[in-house]
């Protein structure tokens, strides 16, 4: 761990030394903390309330929030953390922390996260990708993950009076829905995030790290069992075998009204209701079932972490902002305002009154993230998992298809 607290010796209590640690107000008696947040991560109303409250509680501090676009953000953040005097706090995707940490330009937040932020209760899908080599660089901010959205009327018509609690029951109910004349489920053939959950639930991995080297792991017996379940579930609907959930947009397919189930994040509900407002009171939700009752399936957790660059001009004030945004009060308010899962499992009751979000929080307790390699973004850029899934769904030898995809992942992660 870096000796960051020794950077300004107590014996040298000069204005210059304190300013170098980000401890003194800036010009005019006020220090400005520059914050980069992503488009649509928080509403303007939430940001206005947070800004006013934080400034009222911290004399001489002003917050300057700049909204960034996701397109091209990787290059922009990398340039900012490598250059002089970048922003003080940056929101990044949870799976992006590794690539920024690889620059060696992020501030070590390990001590602060353990001491003040209750890290033992963080959602694993946010905490784990923020931790590189035992060092915490990213502080969990908010999460979202997939659940099952279902059509209540179609369930009722098929004689199903409660959601399935296990994967076996899920398959049986989906077959029953098909027999009753509806499409039991719509699942695109290349929805690799959903596949990841099945692989993790079986004890498999997308890739594994040993001695600093990453190796693709889709060809392990556990990972192949996850793919086998995906194939069985996907065959119970008419989803394309060679396209992902955006082609066509699966929310539009579900909105037609004859599909009983969809695996998606609750954010899909807005698109469903826009296409078919008549479904407003007909939607229900349940966690993706796991192998055993009472234990939802592992799920991919999307969301954001907060990082502080080494070059942050106002580091001490930046830490105050991160601790506030990641603390119980503002986590609760953000989750309720935006329909997110709070960053701690213990805060799940905060969204108990929001049905879809509460179901999402139940699954998030078993959330995971993609392999914590700086090169994983390159794997996704030319994603070999998608053609692997299509190959298996079309009847190719699963072992050979998995071996081929794993080799491609290994090659990319080694670059």
pLDDT of residue 29: 80
CATH architecture group of domain 4-144+301-368 = 3-Layer(aba) Sandwich (3.40)
Cα dist. 192→11, 256, 353, 379 in Å? 56, 24, 30, 12
Confidence band (pLDDT; 50, 70, 90) for 114? low
pTM here? 0.89
DSSP string for residues in 93-138: EGGGHHHHHTTT-B---HHHHHHHS-GGGB-HHHHTTTEETTEE--
Q: Which tens digit of pLDDT belongs to each residue from 228-243?
A: 999 999 999 999 999 9
Average pLDDT over all residues of the chain: 92
pLDDT of residue 84: 85
- Phi then psi dihedrals of residue 126, to 5 deg: -105, -40
Place of tokens 């992020």: 106
DSSP string for residues in 263-284: EE-TTHHHHHHHH-GGGTTSEE
* Count of beta carbons in the 10 Å neighbourhood of residue 415: 6
Domain boundaries defined on the chain: 4-144+301-368, 146-298+372-413
* Count of beta carbons in the 10 Å neighbourhood of residue 344: 22
Q: Which tens digit of pLDDT belongs to each residue from 350-363?
A: 999 999 999 999 99
Q: Which tens digit of pLDDT belongs to each residue from 154-185?
A: 999 999 999 999 999 999 999 999 999 999 99
Q: Which tens digit of pLDDT belongs to each residue from 221-275?
A: 999 999 999 999 999 999 999 999 999 999 999 999 999 999 999 999 999 999 9
pLDDT of residue 112: 77
Q: Do domains 4-144+301-368 and 146-298+372-413 have the same CATH topology?
A: yes
pLDDT higher than threshold 70 for residue 99: yes
DSSP string for residues in 74-96: HHHHHHHHHSSS--SEEEEEGGG
CATH of domain 146-298+372-413: 3.40.190.10
DSSP state of 208: E
């Amino acid at each position: 761990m870096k000796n960051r607290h020794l950077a300004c010796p107590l014996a040298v209590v000069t204005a210059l030394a304190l300013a170098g640690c980000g401890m003194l107000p800036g010009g005019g008696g006020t220090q400005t903390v520059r914050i980069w947040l992503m488009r649509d991560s928080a509403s303007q109303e939430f940001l206005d309330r947070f800004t006013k409250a934080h400034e009222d509680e911290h004399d001489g501090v002003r917050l300057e929030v700049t909204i960034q676009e996701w397109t091209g953000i990787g290059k922009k953040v990398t340039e900012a953390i490598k250059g002089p005097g970048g922003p003080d706090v940056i929101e990044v995707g949870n799976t992006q922390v590794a690539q920024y940490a690889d620059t060696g330009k992020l501030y070590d937040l390990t001590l602060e996260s353990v001491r003040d932020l209750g890290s033992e209760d963080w959602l694993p899908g946010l905490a784990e990708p923020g931790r590189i080599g035992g060092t915490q660089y990213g502080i969990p901010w908010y999460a979202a993950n997939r659940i099952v959205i279902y059509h209540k009327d179609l369930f009722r018509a098929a004689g199903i009076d409660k959601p399935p609690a296990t994967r076996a029951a899920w398959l049986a109910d989906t077959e029953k829905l098909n027999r009753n004349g509806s499409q039991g489920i719509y699942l695109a053939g290349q929805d690799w995030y959903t596949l990841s959950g099945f692989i993790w639930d079986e004890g498999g991995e997308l890739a594994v790290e040993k001695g600093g080297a990453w190796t693709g792991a889709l060809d392990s017996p556990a990972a192949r069992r996850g793919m086998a379940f995906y194939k069985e579930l996907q065959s119970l609907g008419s989803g394309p075998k060679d396209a992902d959930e955006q082609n066509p947009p699966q929310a539009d397919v579900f909105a037609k009204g004859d599909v009983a189930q969809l695996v998606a994040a609750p954010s899909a509900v807005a698109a469903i209701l826009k296409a078919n407002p008549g479904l407003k009171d007909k939607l229900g939700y349940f966690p993706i079932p796991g192998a055993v009752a009472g234990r939802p399936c592992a799920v991919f957790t999307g969301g954001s972490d907060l990082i502080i660059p080494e070059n942050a001009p106002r580091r001490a004030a930046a830490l105050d902002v991160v601790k506030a945004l990641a603390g119980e009060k503002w986590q609760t308010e953000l989750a309720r305002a935006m329909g997110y899962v709070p960053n701690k499992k213990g805060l799940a009751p905060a969204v108990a009154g929001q049905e879809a979000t509460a179901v999402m929080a139940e699954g998030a307790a078993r959330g995971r993230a993609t392999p914590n390699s700086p090169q994983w973004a390159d794997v996704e850029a030319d994603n070999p998992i998608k053609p692997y899934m299509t190959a298996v769904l079309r009847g190719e030898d699963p072992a050979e298809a998995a071996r081929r995809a794993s080799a491609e992942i290994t090659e990319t992660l080694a670059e």
